[in-house]
């Protein structure tokens, strides 16, 4: 029953988030701050992970192609498909559930513990709109970060080919171009927008409705990370079946 209660409360929170909007001059400042905190500050870790994971995918694919009858350009093909379809949108989002999600939960939870949220509500401000809505809008730029991750993942695979000698640059580029389907990129960005909404709202839910003191802030951050990751994986399965099935 607790899970059903939290699920219903979560959807009620989303509906409440759009009521009594904060005036634009204040909201604009909040959105820009959240873009800096959630998107810009995450570009470094996304770039680092994407580049080296792309290289690892290339190396593992090349080392597992032992049959001389299998063309070497499949290394580039496999790297492109792995990075675009799954790694960049899904696994990066799970990593961001730890970084971005924990930041959102802890920042809102700290405001709840220090009674700043109560102060906002006493002043007649819709606290959900003031705190959660800017984060949701800021994370709508999350696909921009994922696009950078896609590019750097493929670039990392190319670097592994050139410096590791696993296949020629020409074969790798040929693999990148072989049977390219533009809808795969669209599919990845659709998933990314859905995951961005989850990254913004589930951690906010656990931070906004937490009870207790400073110790509970850490527990809420852990719970938010777990449930955000679970929902991302489930939605990934559902969206893949709907869009590619």
**pTM for this one?**
0.91
> Which tens digit of pLDDT belongs to each residue from 153-196?
999 999 998 888 888 888 889 988 988 888 999 999 999 999 99
pLDDT of residue 69: 75
Averaged pLDDT score across all residues of the chain: 90
Residue 2 covered by a domain: no
pLDDT of residue 200: 95
| The pLDDT of residue 132 is above 80 | yes
Q: What residues contact residue 100 under an 8 Å CB cut-off, 6+ apart?
A: 38, 42, 139, 199, 203
Is 117 buried (19+), middle (13-18) or exposed (0-12) by CB count in 10 A? buried
Q: Among 65-74, 112-121, 135-144, 228-237, whose mean pLDDT is lowest?
A: 65-74
pLDDT of residue 201: 95
The tally of domains found in the chain comes to 1
pLDDT of residue 218: 86
Cα dihedral across residues 50, 54, 57, 63: positive or negative? negative
183: tokens are 């809808």
Residue 118 covered by a domain: yes
Is 127 buried (19+), middle (13-18) or exposed (0-12) by CB count in 10 A? buried
3-state DSSP assignment of residue 107: helix
Residue 12 covered by a domain: no
Residue 164 covered by a domain: yes
Domain that holds residue 94: 22-244
Residue 11 covered by a domain: no
pLDDT of residue 155: 94
Residue with tokens 């390219």: 180
Residue 9 covered by a domain: no
Residue 8 covered by a domain: no
| The pLDDT of residue 68 is above 80 | no
Looking at the chain, the whole-number percentage of residues with pLDDT higher than 90 is: 65
């Amino acid at each position: 029953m607790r899970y059903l209660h939290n699920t219903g409360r979560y959807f009620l929170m989303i509906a409440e988030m759009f009521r009594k909007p904060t005036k634009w001059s204040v909201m604009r400042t909040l959105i820009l701050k959240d873009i800096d905190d959630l998107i810009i500050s995450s570009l470094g870790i996304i770039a680092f992970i994407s580049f080296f994971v792309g290289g690892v995918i290339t190396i593992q694919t090349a080392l597992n192609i032992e049959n001389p009858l299998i063309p070497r350009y499949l290394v580039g093909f496999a790297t492109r498909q792995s990075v675009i379809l799954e790694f960049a949108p899904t696994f990066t989002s799970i990593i961001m559930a730890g970084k971005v999600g924990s930041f959102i939960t802890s920042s809102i939870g700290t405001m709840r513990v220090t009674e700043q949220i109560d102060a906002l509500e006493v002043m007649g401000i819709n606290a959900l709109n003031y705190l959660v809505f800017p984060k949701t809008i800021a994370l709508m730029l999350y696909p921009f970060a994922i696009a950078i991750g896609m590019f750097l993942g493929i670039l990392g695979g190319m670097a592994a080919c050139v410096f590791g000698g696993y296949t020629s640059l020409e074969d790798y580029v040929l693999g990148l171009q072989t049977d390219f389907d533009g809808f795969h990129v669209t599919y990845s960005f659709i998933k990314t927008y859905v995951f961005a909404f989850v990254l913004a709202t589930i951690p906010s839910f656990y931070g906004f409705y937490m009870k207790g003191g400073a110790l509970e802030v850490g527990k809420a951050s852990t719970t938010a990370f777990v449930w955000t990751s679970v929902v991302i994986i489930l939605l990934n399965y559902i969206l893949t079946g709907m869009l590619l099935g």
